[in-house]
Amino acid sequence: MLDDGAVNPPRRVAGGLRRPGAVRPGPGRPGLGRLLPAALRARLAVLFAAAVAVVIAAGVGLLAFATDRQFDAAVDTGLTTRTSALLQALDRGDVRVVREDPIAELVAPDGTLVETSPAASVLESRGGRASDESFLPARVLAEVRATGSAVSDSLELPRQGRVRFTATPVSVPEAGAVLVVGTRMRELDEAETRLVLLFLAGAPLLVASLGLAGWVLAGAALRPVADLTRRAARLSAAELDQRLPQPPGADEVAVLARTLNGMLDRLEAAVRREREFVDDAAHELRTPIAVLRGELELALRLGRDLPEDAAESLAAALGEAERLEHLAQDLLVLASTERGASARAPVDLAALARKEAPRLGAAHPVDVRVSGPAAVVEGDERALGRLLANLVANAESAGAARVQVRTAVADDERVQLVVADDGRGFPPELVATATERFTRGDAARTRASSGAGLGLAIVAAVVADHGGHLELGHDDELGGAAVVVRLPRARSGPPR
């Protein structure tokens, strides 16, 4: 059942008609956006946690680098002190002090060892070198002799790990000799590794904690935006004078609220201008249409001797005049409903339907049956009667022979009115625009139909004006369309 034509069941509508043909987002292009959550708050928290993880990784790397440099500098200081003490002893001709140092060796100009400490001998043997050769490579010794200055560096020995050394040129026992003083770095390197691993082990907890803090901060920052979103979602065409809450200050949220309220001002002005135009146009059309219809009826009554084709033309013109009259009347009703200026009183939908059923059955060749308990709402009885009349007329245009009007109390807050028929139902291609103005089914796009496609638009406007929800669907019992209207239940007062 669609306004002036056949339509099939749409899906559920809350506060209006849901568009079942709404386009879903496509798969999109691959990239970072597909890996991030859809919610902005979660996205900010994830990005914040990722940034923290990057900073922690960089910090740990910088810490390891700085710690390594500090350890080397401290070791070099100790090596310099030991080298100075050995040089003083060598100047006195005492070469045996080399044997007493933790790791030291005196290398002759030809590369042979003059004196070495036991630990240095271990480095030589375990490092894969001959017992009479220094654990330092020959190129390092050659560099010290060539430059005549001390060289401090680290050397990675097999099975020994890293060794830090200082090689200094000496003239004892002869010119070109080299004094080498070293120390093992394995313990310090292992301590540095443990320190880095300790930081890395605590990094996940730190990242998670800071990510949670980012989630909380993002929620606090976005809470005003969420409030604006909720308030904007509750606004409808029947509440054009409502505005969003505007927080104080000049931050981004305050600017957003002011911008949205300015947009609502412009929308209200545009909608009011549209409604005034429709109202004025419908009022102005009523008189000339009534005059035109009267003249055509008079011509048909007086022109009994007119040729048959002329009489048919006059009858067709009278039919078009009647359609224009119905259109002007529907536009007036729609404009009046959208203004929401009707008086409200308790109305029993079940009693109203029973009262209207005989008249609707006489006006339309359908069998109208009413069932259900009392369902009292605060509303305009004339507008609700027009709602029932439009739904029955739409059922007739969809080929229905039976119409059932059922009432029910949905819950303590709402009542339900269902108008079902055994017609053709709702075709999917018209569901998306079923309640828009001038929407008509294909079966109704003929001269035989006098409707203008405003029936369901008026129904939707009446439901919205009464703060209700409209749902178009399929009726399992009759096999045709079902229009479900849910309206707020009246709090008190006897029904009219």
The torsion angles phi and psi of 98, rounded to 5 degrees, stand at -65, -35
**What residue has token string 């500090």?**
70
**What residue has token string 């609502």?**
264
pLDDT at 190: 86
Annotate 167-187 with DSSP letters as a single string. EEEE-SSSTTEEEEEEEE-HH
**Distance between CA atoms of residues 32 and 83, nearest Å:** 58
For the segment(s) 235-341, the CATH number from 2.40.10.330, 1.10.287.130, 3.40.50.300, 3.40.309.10 is 1.10.287.130
Place 236 in a pLDDT band, splitting at 50, 70 and 90: low
State percent of the chain over pLDDT 90.
13
Place 428 in a pLDDT band, splitting at 50, 70 and 90: low
pLDDT at 351: 92
Provide the CATH number for the domain formed by 93-184 in this structure: 3.30.450.20
Higher pLDDT, 239 or 263: 263
Query: Which structure tokens are listed for 36?
Result: 């991030």
Report whether pLDDT(176) > 80: yes
**Distance between CA atoms of residues 136 and 146, nearest Å:** 16
- Per-residue pLDDT of 440-463, as tens digits, reads 554 443 344 445 567 788 888 888
State percent of the chain over pLDDT 70.
78
Mean pLDDT score of the chain: 79
- Per-residue pLDDT of 346-386, as tens digits, reads 999 999 999 999 988 888 889 999 999 999 998 888 888 88
Domain boundaries, the chain: 93-184, 235-341
pLDDT at 78: 92
Query: Which structure tokens are listed for 241?
Result: 């004078």
Which residues, 6 or more positions from 195, have their beta carbon under 8 angstroms from its beta carbon? 63, 64, 67
CA 394, 400, 401: angle at the middle one, nearest 5? Answer: 130
Give the CA distances from residue 325 to residues 283, 285, 331, in Å, rounded to whole numbers and listed in that order: 11, 8, 10
Q: Which residues of 119-133 are buried (b: 16+ CB within 10 A; e: fewer)?
A: bbbebbeebebeeeb
**Distance between CA atoms of residues 374 and 351, nearest Å:** 7
Total length of the chain: 496
Give the CA distances from residue 255 to residues 228, 243, 258, in Å, rounded to whole numbers and listed in that order: 12, 14, 5
Average pLDDT over residues 237-260: 79
Give the CA distances from residue 487 to residues 242, 330, 442, 468, in Å, rounded to whole numbers and listed in that order: 21, 23, 31, 4
- Per-residue pLDDT of 106-132, as tens digits, reads 998 888 888 888 887 777 665 555 567
- Torsion sign across C-alpha atoms 295, 300, 303, 309: positive
- Per-residue pLDDT of 387-410, as tens digits, reads 898 899 888 888 899 999 999 987
- Per-residue pLDDT of 179-206, as tens digits, reads 999 998 888 888 888 888 888 888 888 8
